[in-house]
Amino acid sequence: MSQNIEIEFKNMLTKAEYEGILVEFNIGANQVFTQENHYFDTPDFALKNARCALRIRKKGAEYVMTLKQPMEIGLLETNQLLTKAETSAALNHGRLPNGQIKNLIEEGNIPFSKIEFFGSLITNRAEFAYKNGLLVLDHSIFLQHEDYEMEFEVENYEEGKISFQELLKQFNIPQRETKNKVRRFYEQKYKQS
């Protein structure tokens, strides 16, 4: 298990903006990789209502369960490595493994046994170092929907904010309200219900 504080700035992009940034930074198709996010919550959205998110991400051959919890600045991410069998049990039978994440969820008075699999989101991602941070360009596909997003992950909030605003200005991209992927996923799920 590992924990870290995630500080990131996000902005939705049009397809043309996304493609323009890839060209400007000389990012080729061989630098784009695919990852799968599988989202979980209780039927009454107890995690979402607590401003938390639970996912299992497949990246390459590795499976990681991540709980995101709000902090004063950023999010606390708790990560737990899973085996392929644990991931299969979670996705196909709704059985999430014991461990630190279970303990943290139950500390928040959310019944771990009621958590179920909600669906998956595929992201084609490019990421590279940029001005003391990590610039991430995502093309996400989920529930017959696709979108484009830029994220800038940093350690220093104030420094990161300035660099991110300069980057948006450089590409003439307006600052757009940007919800996180899990929220966009749930909103799309609601539309289809």
- Closest-CA residue to 135 (of 164, 158, 99): 164
- Cβ-in-10-Å burial (0-12, 13-18, 19+) of 158 comes to exposed
**Chain segment 85-122, per-residue pLDDT in tens:** 999 999 999 899 999 999 999 999 999 999 999 889 99
Q: How many helices (H) and strands (E) in the chain?
A: 6, 8
What CATH number did the domain enclosing 132 receive?
A: 2.40.320.10
Residue type at position 185: F
Residues of the chain below pLDDT 70: 193
Domain count, the chain: 1
Residue 175 sits at the vertex; the CA angle it makes with 169 and 177, to the nearest 5 degrees, is: 165
Structural domain containing residue 153: 2-192
